Structure 1
Amino acid sequence: MSHQRAEPLDVDAIREAYPILDQSFDGSPLVYLDSAATTQTPDPVVDAMSDYYRETNANVHRGIHHLSQKASIAYEEAHDRVAEFVGASGGREELVFTKNTTESENLVAHAWGLRELGPGDEVVLTEMEHHASLVTWQQVAMRAGADVKYIRVDENGRLDMDHARECITDDTAMVSAVHVSNTLGTVNPVSELVDLAHEHDALALLDGAQAVPTRPVDVEEIDADFYAFSGHKMAGPTGIGALYGKRELLADLDPYLYGGGMIRSVTYDESTWGDVPWKFEAGTPPIAEGIGLAAAVDYLEEIGMDRVQAHEERLAEAAHEKLSAIDGLTIYGPEPGPERAGLVSFTLENVHAHDLASICNDHAVAIRAGDHCTQPLHDKLGIAATARASFYVYNSVDEIDPLVDAIEDAQALFG
């Protein structure tokens, strides 16, 4: 089913699973518009984690006793469930649990990059990269003696694909790109980027932190070599992320972290590593969080990712329309549509983004202000910070009105 024809969400019914949203501050009901930073966590996910701690809590892969066996099975099956959600047919052998997207990208950059990159090699990023990608590759390339190039962002907030074709050459070893920009809301043509990388025998790593929560993602259809995402942005818990990697690539990599749980054998002189994914999950892993992430996947699939995407696009379009009507307000990124996700970053003339966020908070409207971990992009745009409103399944179009009221109050206050 096309997401454009997807049945609208029953937001009132969905909100029943989010008691945190049913509160007020100084008489104003909470309007949570900061889901690009962290989504709220529904009761089924909280219950799954609570049930683990009440009924199953034990370390995994270490014990013969019943609780350890139950915990191990639940944790292993969580890998399979999350892999299935993003279209990874290899199951747990292609899906590593990490702390977050940042750790997933660091794993690839350190385990693959430090071994494979050298002088003359190039890593190609985009100008809209999150610091998780940009800083990581910048630092690893520096240590390896490799160069970093950036694909331009045009005046409409889209990637300049002609420039991408210039940047990606036979010297390119890795293309690392954000699937959906957390600042501009741009949905990038990632399949085209991956194809360009592969035409030049380079690998491709995609940052899916804003994509997996908001739209159907199939890593095999995209043909990504690596794909990273986070639990806390997709109705899951904090402290859990995932890295998809093609089976043969993960099997070939050395571990990024060392310690217990990731070894096959150890002597005083040498060690050998366990199988994928366990060789990348040193120490006691995020067991409850992994189980919670699998529950979040179940929750989202029950809603339907086509419907999640359609709902986000409706909200982004409504927000874009209402905010565009405010004098002195500038919105960044593409026009509403399939190339834009459900977030809107903007500036208001004569009002700093932090002041704007503070006045929104006085109205119990939660938005984000700052550079959103895309400082070089903000420098390119010639602005210090933007305010960002971002939406999820529990938001309604009606909640845009309190945001508009708060912005107009800020405008009146600052003249």
Structure 2
Amino acid sequence: MTQLPGLLDTEAIRKDFPILDRQIHDGRKVVYLDNAATSQKPRQVLDALNAYYERHNANVHRGVHVLAEEATALYEGARDKVAAFINAPSRDEVIFTKNASESLNLVANMLGWAEEPYRVDRETEIVITEMEHHSNIVPWQLLSQRTGAKLKWFGITDDGRLDLSNIDEIITEQTKIVSFTLVSNIMGTINPVETIIRRAQEVGALVCIDASQAAPHMVLDVQALQADFVAFTGHKMCGPTGIGVLWGRQELLEDLPPFLGGGEMIETVSMHSSTYAPAPHKFEAGTPPIAQAVGLGAAVDYLTSIGMDNIAAHEHAITEYAVKRLLEVPDLRIIGPSTAEDRGATLSFTLGDIHPHDVGQVLDEQGIAVRVGHHCARPVCLRFGIPATTRASFYLYSTPAEVDALVEGLEHVRNFFG
């Protein structure tokens, strides 16, 4: 068994994840390497969801009966846990959404409807990057089309880093919002946050960070980041699907208009006009994802008990080993950084002329779950002149043996296709 410095006790951790014991394809134990798409859930999260539905299920905030009060306490308790997890100055800065996509759309729509000094219009610019997930491209394209604002972006270098050589020309006095990913979901690149934010602050632009691939894997401190908005999703960090988070600075949430209208987000309503509740409820119209928030709170408890620094160290060791082993495979090309420096636990690659979908299908027959396609980051594939990639992504329960299984599986793929 390969021993690496910094590894967690994966033997103990994996016992918390029932699905990792599943056998498929004639008794092959599943090797799950698709964590950038969604993570598996520990028993602690599954138990929290079951307990909520079995004992506390009710709508939140308005009821005075016991079940409603219990459900409200659990829902708002999850907000407290998330606020502590990201070191938010106030729990009221944590908005629950259904995923990171909704969080980013929320920011784009708030700015499109805002009054000065936040309003995005034809006199302003929006800045993103070429390595964004579609969820951090399309909302800004829609806002640009609606308002006439100019959309600009940073390119990608040959080694999968952001090209910031022209940062002063990309982020200008006309820039109103800069939105970028902290960690690339396709290449694993960790971006230089401080450099980008410093330039944005020089020109008075707001900063929105997509932390979907960061929150599950490293310490996420919104105060240290100094961004204005941070978005992430629950299902990639051991939580349920259907729950996401938008953190925003309190003064911005107070000044910006709501995105959705309906129950709970109001203060008063008449047939002529309405006034809005304070944040976060101002941005949480209708019945929220209550059980999902409870599950996310349990996931935060689980990750905190292990320690995000420990998780980051484990994944760095696994990624360093995986890069080394994959580069031993003939005809394999890593798309993105070819070292473990400043990169997350996501590796995308091509294998000669074999189509990634064929690679993924043959690996699946061996019980190895990877992702194939453009990973909702098609501009990256266009940048590197490829139709798609195979992506292996690791997490706190990943082991060196699973990396070895992947490499052996790729050798089988090469032999299969001759």
Corresponding residue for residue 364 of structure 1: 367
Aligned partner of 1:240 among 239, 243, 254 = 243
The Cα offsets for residues 38-59 of structure 1, whole Å up to 9 and x where unpaired, read as: 0000011111111111111110
Residue 363 of structure 2 contacts residue 409 of structure 2 at CA under 8 Å; is this kept in 1? yes
Corresponding residue for residue 76 of structure 1: 76
Corresponding residue for residue 131 of structure 1: 134
SS state at 1:229 partner: strand
5+ residue gaps, structure 2: none
The Cα offsets for residues 289-310 of structure 1, whole Å up to 9 and x where unpaired, read as: 1111111111001100011111
Q: 2 CA distance for matches of 1:87 and 1:153?
A: 31
Residue 350 of structure 1 contacts residue 414 of structure 1 at CA under 8 Å; is this kept in 2? no
Corresponding residue for residue 100 of structure 1: 99
Aligned partner of 1:155 among 152, 155, 158 = 158
Corresponding residue for residue 67 of structure 1: 67
Corresponding residue for residue 285 of structure 2: 282
Aligned partner of 1:316 among 314, 319, 324 = 319
Q: Deviation at 1:260?
A: 1.0
Q: 2 CA distance for matches of 1:6 and 1:244?
A: 34
Q: Deviation at 1:163?
A: 2.2
Residue 313 of structure 1 contacts residue 336 of structure 1 at CA under 8 Å; is this kept in 2? no
Residue 5 of structure 2 contacts residue 317 of structure 2 at CA under 8 Å; is this kept in 1? no
Q: 2 CA distance for matches of 1:196 and 1:85?
A: 27
The Cα offsets for residues 120-139 of structure 1, whole Å up to 9 and x where unpaired, read as: 21101011011001111011
Paired AA for residue 360 in structure 2: A
Q: 2 CA distance for matches of 1:99 and 1:72?
A: 18
Residue 152 of structure 1 contacts residue 163 of structure 1 at CA under 8 Å; is this kept in 2? no
Q: 2 CA distance for matches of 1:402 and 1:338?
A: 24
5+ residue gaps, structure 1: none
Q: 2 CA distance for matches of 1:396 and 1:275?
A: 46
Q: Report the RMSD for the aligned CA atoms in angstroms.
A: 1.2
Q: 1 CA distance for matches of 2:94 and 2:159?
A: 35
Residue 61 of structure 1 contacts residue 69 of structure 1 at CA under 8 Å; is this kept in 2? yes
Aligned partner of 1:142 among 136, 145, 148 = 145
Q: 1 CA distance for matches of 2:170 and 2:363?
A: 41
SS state at 2:217 partner: coil
TM-score, normalised by the number of residues in structure 2: 0.96
Aligned partner of 1:227 among 215, 227, 230 = 230
Residue 330 of structure 1 contacts residue 346 of structure 1 at CA under 8 Å; is this kept in 2? yes
Aligned partner of 1:166 among 137, 147, 169 = 169
Residue 6 of structure 1 contacts residue 306 of structure 1 at CA under 8 Å; is this kept in 2? no
Q: 1 CA distance for matches of 2:284 and 2:123?
A: 32
Aligned partner of 1:389 among 392, 396, 401 = 392
* 2:197 is the counterpart of 1:194: yes
Matched pairs, number: 410
Q: Percent identity?
A: 47
Residue 114 of structure 1 contacts residue 140 of structure 1 at CA under 8 Å; is this kept in 2? no
Residue 6 of structure 2 contacts residue 314 of structure 2 at CA under 8 Å; is this kept in 1? no
Corresponding residue for residue 29 of structure 2: 29
Residue 126 of structure 1 contacts residue 152 of structure 1 at CA under 8 Å; is this kept in 2? yes
Q: 2 CA distance for matches of 1:253 and 1:207?
A: 19
Q: Deviation at 1:7?
A: 5.0
Residue 125 of structure 2 contacts residue 152 of structure 2 at CA under 8 Å; is this kept in 1? yes
Q: 2 CA distance for matches of 1:334 and 1:307?
A: 23
Aligned partner of 1:337 among 336, 340, 355 = 340
Q: Deviation at 1:338?
A: 4.0
Paired AA for residue 122 in structure 1: E
Corresponding residue for residue 47 of structure 1: 47
Paired AA for residue 400 in structure 2: V
Q: 1 CA distance for matches of 2:406 and 2:7?
A: 22
Q: 2 CA distance for matches of 1:7 and 1:401?
A: 18
TM-score, normalised by the number of residues in structure 1: 0.97
Q: Deviation at 1:27?
A: 2.2
